[in-house]
A and B are shown apart, each in its own frame.
Chain A
Amino acid sequence: MFTRRGGWLVFAGIIMISVGFALAGYLSINVMFDSFGFNPQANDTYVDPGEAQGFGVMDFLHFYMDRAGTLVWFFIIGGVMLIFSVLLGLPFYRLGSNPKSIEIKRRVSKPKAFAGDYVYIEVTVRNKSVNQLPSIEIYDAIPEVFDLVLGENFIVTQLNPRQTISYGYVVRIPIRGLFEIGPTKVIIRDRMGFYATEGKIKSKTEILVYPSYEDIKKLEMVGKKRQLGLLFGVHRTKLKGMGTEFWGIRKYQTGDAFKFIDWKAFSRSGKMMVREFESEENIRLIIMVDSSASMGAGLPRNTKLEYAIRSAVLLIHLAFEKRDLVGLCVYGDKVKNWVDITSTRTRLFQFLEVLAHTKPEGESNLESAIEYVLQRVKRSSYLIILTDLESHPEKMVQAVRRARARKHNITLLSPFGPWFEIVSQQLSPLEQMIGYAMVEKQLGERQNMFKMLRRYDAVSISVGPDDFLPTVMAQFNRMQRQG
């Protein structure tokens, strides 16, 4: 309750009283001096110059003696004044400054935003009581990653009885995630700064921030420039075997249906030939985002997970553009979120919401995630796995093998840890050497892993922050062409 200033003043008062008592006690020593016949009258201005005067300890002590006893009272009165000045106001302060008499409201302009958006936050403070609050400090806590761009999130003011004041500030939210604004700290002080009461308003306002839409916007801008680019326009997969459109003729092989035999060609060449048709079908895309703790390493705005999520958003957008089917699985040690395969554009926010909530925690267990997906996706599709491969290699290979066995095509885009983490930090030459050695070792391990995965027809690519998104787009393109 007492601030440092109040405490110091009480302390000074006690010291002053103590000095007073010390002087009083010291005065009584004078009597002892007299009884020893020692009374040099050092302080007296009218002293016989011929009288002998020493420079011993006793002379010195005697030199600082307050023989009239006035100082004793002066210091005691001064000390009592100081102590009273701090203490007498205390009950009045307690009466006037009830933290419960303050009402605070926080108003956030929107509960959901995209990364990079501005959000306006307004705090309204109301003094419900009839007492004036001479000094009140209000701090509204915002997450560290937020940029305060306009205004300030604290205020120092006085609140008159029944007065309401509001202040506001604008923050920019640079990254996606679920953020909490709050708690709000309130410090009430008295006018003299002797006492302070701290209150904390625990209630927080949640803001859900979707992954940035900036990549997509950029893409759209590029797209408008190149109308007939390879990437753009509805691009359908051609499925051979069924459908109505003629595709070609090939030799008959045992097991081909008789109805497809081209009798005209048979009569011409004397060899059994089969007509083939094709149909158009969308590709099926399943994005699997690894959200284990290792994905969160690095600077908060540039983690592997952030890049993975940006690429996921890009893929989802591309898939919707081309009316392909897309599903999303966010997994750690178990499946955290699953959005079923869909081509409905309106469900974009469902995807974004899932991605916004993603936090890097736990271990990575691709096997169980693949198991989960395989149960839900029966037809063959493209599995795009965004993982940093920092878990059991055997289990991972096992998982890929199982997915391949169900005729899924697997593409593994793996952000390589050191490219995300080491570059951003300043290292000493020795640390750099160690870092390079580690990178070499890890790259070697990665190559082995990729070799094993290639056996199951899986495409695996190491990506860094610069080539992450281009690689994603290139791979999507490849899948489109493959069908």
Chain B
Amino acid sequence: MESLSDTRIINLGIRGVQRRIKGARTQTLITHTIGRLLAIGAIAWVLIQLFTIIAFDDPAKFPEGYFIDSLSFIFILIELIAIIIFTAPLMIFVAFLGDDATGILLGAKAFLTGDLFGSISPPSGVNSNLLFGTEALDMFSSFAYLFSPEILQPLRIANRASLMLFFIVLLIISLAAFLFRADMRSAAAAFVSIQVIVFQGSVQLLFGSSFRFSPTKNIGELFSNSVVLIALASYLFLEIALQISYISQLLNPTQSRQQRVLRALNRLDQFRLGVTKATPVTFTETEETKEAGEKEEKQATKSIGSTGSAIARKFGVAGMTYFLEKASDSLFSRPGGQRDKLTSRLQRYHDGLIHSDPRVDEKLVGAEVSVKPLMTIVYVLTSVIFRVLIMLAGLYAILNPDVLLFVLRYPAPIYNSLEMLQPEGVVLLLIPIVVIILLLTSLIGYIQERFSKRFEESLESTLEEEEFFEEELPGIITEGEIEPISEEELFYEQLSEEFGDDIEE
């Protein structure tokens, strides 16, 4: 018989876990929010940098109504091609019908330009009479008119500006996607978009005159240069994106695990309290149905995984969580699925576990793996600042090679060469720096290997004592005060091993 005190212990166990998880959930939310705020900051900086260098206010680069002009140019091209396609077959009749045929052709042309395309007004500077012409039989004069330098040059400028706008729209879409999903794919898309915008703006002369760079020794000048700033902004965005993806990589599996296991525990709890009646099983479970059920379950979990990401791409996080919840709920009701795994027998076993170790629920749920938002954000910020500072120092050293060249003992002709200030000089320095870093890393690895062995040998006795102390912690077996619940407990034996020596790299 279960005494009242036992019930209380078990209830407290589950409630404690629930409370802890609830706390963890709030913390997770806070962490996510702070992460997003950081990301918004980085994004804002990138956009400010971009909008300061793009000369939107220069009408020679971004003429008025350029976007509409570009669009109508594309439409007019389509329209001209349509006219050729539709009127060319009618040309045959011209030979037989003479003037009537010309009338038909003109009618068809009027239908296409007026009714079908709804008389689109051509881009500014294009004379629509000249463009469409009055001569029904001359199909190509329109092209000749359109592709003349007088017409094309202003359109080119408009198209250039429109293309830039298109890339900016792409950038904004990928940034928004990143803010919603916090995944690396959108971040990479945004990063590439920034590079393309800079490339496009630079070669098409859409940037202001401040977008110039030459290596300089003045730190203030170097890091206030718009080229360096835009590169830095895009890099910083990438860095923060990586950090945020780390946070979600860490928190999401933990959270979903906690939810899943807690649901199972709640169900077991219902068994214990006798809330769940023994639901009559209508089907007779043969081996085959069992197998089929298992197979189905496996497929279901597989499809949950795959559809999860596909849906996520379509509907975003909210949609995905909804579908996942749905799917995992249906798992519980499928024969041979999760529901059959959770039996009253398991519940009794679980109760036994709680008696021997009250913290068993926490361990099953993985509640110990809670991530503290404040600490995480502090760690993330410190790491970002530290990494960016190191990176900037490296960049400065590479752009001003004097010190490094001296340290690396390059020969005088190279040391004194003006070529070192050229882009090629960067590679001459970059390669040795990379090699040094790799060597340093392997040196650290080697030293660690040697020292940790020695360290272990010297501290073996101490460690053993410590371990012994840990073994004595209240656990499943060493819980002396509580009576064993079943015969199974007779078998209980603590099997724990020290694995440290066997780790492979």
Majority secondary structure of chain A interface residues (helix, strand, loop or mixed): mixed
A residues in contact (CB < 8 Å) with B: 5, 16-17, 20-21, 24, 43-47, 49-53, 63-66, 68, 70-78, 80-85, 87-91, 94-95, 98-113, 117-118, 120, 122, 124, 132, 134-135, 147, 149-152, 155-158, 160, 165-170, 172, 184, 186, 191-193, 197-203, 205, 299, 302, 424
B residues in contact (CB < 8 Å) with A: 60-61, 149-150, 152-153, 157, 184, 195, 198-199, 202-205, 211-215, 227-228, 230-232, 234-235, 238-239, 242-243, 245-246, 249-250, 253-254, 257, 260-261, 264-265, 268, 287-288, 291, 341-342, 345-346, 349-350, 353, 360, 363-366, 368-369, 371, 375, 379-380, 383, 387, 390-391, 394-395, 398-399, 423-424, 426-427, 430, 434, 437-438, 440-441, 444-445, 448, 452, 456, 470, 475-476, 488, 491-500, 502-505
Shortest beta-carbon distance from A210 to chain B in Å: 11
* Residues of chain B lying within 8 A (CB to CB) of residue A106: 495-497
B261→A110 contact, CB < 8 A: no
Given contacts A52-B149, A111-B491, contact A191 B476 (CB under 8 A): no
Shortest beta-carbon distance from B191 to chain A in Å: 8
* Residues of chain B lying within 8 A (CB to CB) of residue A201: 499, 502-503
Given contacts A80-B430, A83-B430, contact A165 B369 (CB under 8 A): yes
B366→A120 contact, CB < 8 A: no
* Residues of chain A lying within 8 A (CB to CB) of residue B350: 150, 170
The chain A residue with its CB closest to the CB of B490 is A110
Given contacts A21-B423, A43-B203, A73-B213, contact A120 B383 (CB under 8 A): no
A167→B391 contact, CB < 8 A: no
A151→B211 contact, CB < 8 A: no
* Residues of chain A lying within 8 A (CB to CB) of residue B375: 160
Given contacts A152-B261, A156-B253, contact A167 B395 (CB under 8 A): no
* Residues of chain B lying within 8 A (CB to CB) of residue A167: 363-364, 366, 368-369
Select one of B341, B379, B496 contacting A134, CB under 8 A: B379
Given contacts A135-B250, A166-B363, contact A191 B383 (CB under 8 A): yes
Given contacts A74-B213, A120-B360, contact A192 B369 (CB under 8 A): no
Q: In the assembly, what is the distance between CA of A212 and CA of B292, in Å?
A: 23
B391→A85 contact, CB < 8 A: yes
Shortest beta-carbon distance from A106 to chain B in Å: 7
B250→A157 contact, CB < 8 A: yes
A70→B212 contact, CB < 8 A: yes
Q: In the assembly, what is the distance between CA of A147 and CA of B380, in Å?
A: 39
B246→A192 contact, CB < 8 A: yes
* Residues of chain A lying within 8 A (CB to CB) of residue B61: 45
* Residues of chain A lying within 8 A (CB to CB) of residue B205: 43-45
* Residues of chain B lying within 8 A (CB to CB) of residue A150: 261, 264-265, 268, 341-342, 346, 350, 364
Given contacts A72-B423, A193-B245, A201-B503, contact A103 B398 (CB under 8 A): no
* Residues of chain A lying within 8 A (CB to CB) of residue B430: 17, 80, 83
Please list 15 pairs of residues, one from A and one from B, whose beta carbons are closer than 8 Å in the complex, sorted by A's number: A66-B202, A70-B212, A77-B399, A99-B503, A105-B499, A110-B491, A110-B492, A111-B491, A122-B363, A135-B250, A149-B341, A150-B261, A167-B368, A184-B499, A200-B504
Shortest beta-carbon distance from A238 to chain B in Å: 38
